[in-house]
Structure 1
Amino acid sequence: MIRRLVDSTRWRFIACVVVSNLLSGLVSAFVWLPLASRFWEADKTLGPWIPMLLSILLAIPISSFISRGGLTKEQQAEYLDFIVEESERLSKLASNVLLISRYENQKLVAEQTDYDLDEQIRTSVLRLESQWAPRGLIFELDLPRLPYRNNSEMMEHVWTNLISNAVKFSRDGGAIFISGTQETGRIIVTVRDEGAGIRPQDLGHIFDKFYQGDSSRVSVGNGLGLALVHRIVELSGGSITAESTLGKGSTFRLELPVHSTA
């Protein structure tokens, strides 16, 4: 009886899920973070290769598991879909770890250009359409022209993470509000959702690396997105704050100097 249970495809799948998540946690905690920091300082050309090499190492036992006999084509397709999703999650984790390491060691913002911040935010919303459109989410944008000077590629990470975060925790059919104003020497942008909200005990830690708060958030992120946003805003000479009410949603407020720290 026990042997049948162990050999069943159901328990193989559960084992795959458990092992994949354990590997993800171990790699993020003990491998990627120290390796990324060391390689980035020693040789910036090696940094981008770290996630690929680790992904190959992780893929070897998983691909071996799939290639074994005893699985139908439908089961193999199901497992492969799962592995693709987990691979994408691990890839995002690796990218965020490298970015965190890079910007934590950076003191000045290089390659600054003049551009319209409002257009960058709109573009970020459109790029994430595949995430929010199928769920019937609506975006309400109140963005006048916002001339800005900074590293545009760096700031894209801010909007991608904030908007993606709002989408993840919004209810289907809900709305996300993004507004911007320009005052003397600064730009203020708010991103508000009508989602699940954040517990008061978690609110003070949401910008900490790898912090995910309650267990409902563990499966939808890696605890690095907001830490990356905070560091980039800080590096740009600005500030970010968050307010939230359980069951009603969250609001993130950014204040950015029109001309970033040189």
Structure 2
Amino acid sequence: MKRILRTAGRIIILLVFTAFLWLAAHLIVQGFGVIWPILLTPFVEQILTLWLVFGLLFLTMFIFSKSARKRHHAIWDSLTATIKQMSSGNFTAAASRKMEKIERDHPVTKLADELSTLAAELSEMEKLKQEFISNVSHEIQTPLTSLKGYAHLLKKPDLSYEERGRYLHIIETETERLSKISENLLKLTALERQTEPIQKKPFRIDKQLRRTILTCEPEWSAKQIEFLIDLQESYVYGDEALLSQVWMNLIHNAVKFTGEGGRISVKITDLPEAAAIEIADNGIGMEPEQAERVFERFYKADKARNAGGSGLGLSIAKKIAELHGGSIEVESKRGEGTLFRVILPADPHETNS
């Protein structure tokens, strides 16, 4: 309907314009008739008016086509410049190019705007890639520097047995840290590419959480942390092995950032067709701007959270939750603790008790 109305409108405008040209041509010919009344018979007057209308139409078309050519050239030049900048890797400059207002109605404008949007997205991806490479380099360089330094110290002939053992222990620890970084990077890459299929099945999430808490007992017992558990029987539908990594990471972080004699609570809440698992502590907490970035790769909120770890655990946990059609969110306040809430789809075949 819109296309029909638009076409009808153009036809009406063309007819009105032609009528205007005919009137203008008729007035011009009549003006000549006043000067040379003998030469202009009614027939000649009609012929001259007709040819003058054609002449005015041609002149109008020529003026508009010349203007349109300049406009088209400007559009294609802008589009070509954007493509050249993108091909050379200059995504930031390509993203900043926008079509002029005079070109807004041109069909190619939409393509040019889409290219600018694509360039902006590629520019953001390039920044993320550079940041990722920088973070990886930093995380790997730190243990490598330690390994090099302590390996050099081991060359000293006058080292005592205790010093040699301590240096070897540090080298072993840093080697394990490098191995963990590599393992987590490979794991996150595999999850993002989904090269390994997720083996989903219904299982008791409350039992899995209890097992994870017991596995971490040496850590929280050493700090005399109190665990408050509210785990009623509850089913979810997912990959048990992958979800185990989520709970291990969240509970490990809660223990790490909770002080001596602190408190950690683990709770399951049944939602419509889903289960919400909350793991909360009364540890050091985070600022709001830090909590917003806590799921980014290699992000560490502050120096206190730099002790150990690679900054990949929460990124992996978030990706696993998303692959299950769920989500993970965080609430935190500096000095008051942190709460992680994981929402997972319930088992479609079982009813939560």
TM exceeding 0.5: yes
**Which structure features the higher share of strand residues?**
1
| C-alpha separation in 2, matches of 1:240 and 1:230 | 6
| C-alpha separation in 2, matches of 1:63 and 1:115 | 48
Match of 1:220 in 2: 308
**Percent identical across equivalent pairs?**
31
Unaligned runs of 5+ in 2: 1-131, 349-353
Maintained 8 Å contact 1:109/1:151 = no
Maintained 8 Å contact 1:28/1:93 = no
Superposition pairs for residues 47-126 of structure 1, below 5 Å?
Answer: 63=151, 65-106=153-194, 110-126=198-214
| C-alpha separation in 2, matches of 1:83 and 1:108 | 33
Match of 2:258 in 1: 170
Q: How far is 1:81 from its partner?
A: 2.3
| 2:29 equivalent to 1:29 | no
Q: How far is 1:74 from its partner?
A: 1.1
**Which structure features the higher share of helix residues?**
2
| C-alpha separation in 2, matches of 1:75 and 1:108 | 45
Structure 2 residue corresponding to 1:138, chosen from 216, 219, 226: 226
| C-alpha separation in 1, matches of 2:171 and 2:226 | 31
Residues 27 and 70 of structure 1: CA distance in aligned 2, closer, same or farther (over 3 Å): farther
Q: How far is 1:114 from its partner?
A: 2.1
| C-alpha separation in 2, matches of 1:133 and 1:85 | 22
Maintained 8 Å contact 1:108/1:235 = no
Deviations 1:206-240 (A, max 9, x none): 00000002122122321111111111101110111
Match of 1:193 in 2: 281
| C-alpha separation in 2, matches of 1:112 and 1:71 | 55
Match of 1:183 in 2: 271
Match of 2:343 in 1: 255
User: Which aligned runs of 4 or more in structure 1 are off by greater than 4 angstroms?
Assistant: 25-28, 30-33, 58-65
Residues 63 and 107 of structure 1: CA distance in aligned 2, closer, same or farther (over 3 Å): closer
Maintained 8 Å contact 1:114/1:149 = yes
| 2:311 equivalent to 1:204 | no
Q: Higher Cα Rg: structure 1 or 2?
A: 2
| C-alpha separation in 2, matches of 1:206 and 1:117 | 25
Maintained 8 Å contact 1:187/1:258 = yes
Maintained 8 Å contact 1:109/1:235 = no
- More RCO (CA 8 Å, sep 6+): 1
Maintained 8 Å contact 1:112/1:152 = yes
Superposed CA RMSD? 2.8
Q: How far is 1:76 from its partner?
A: 1.1
| AA aligned opposite 1:29 | V
Maintained 8 Å contact 1:32/1:97 = no
Match of 2:333 in 1: 245
Unaligned runs of 5+ in 1: 1-24, 34-54
Superposition pairs for residues 150-169 of structure 1, below 5 Å?
Answer: 150-169=238-257
Q: How far is 1:91 from its partner?
A: 2.5
Deviations 1:66-115 (A, max 9, x none): 25422111111221222232233223222211111110111885222221
| C-alpha separation in 1, matches of 2:303 and 2:337 | 17
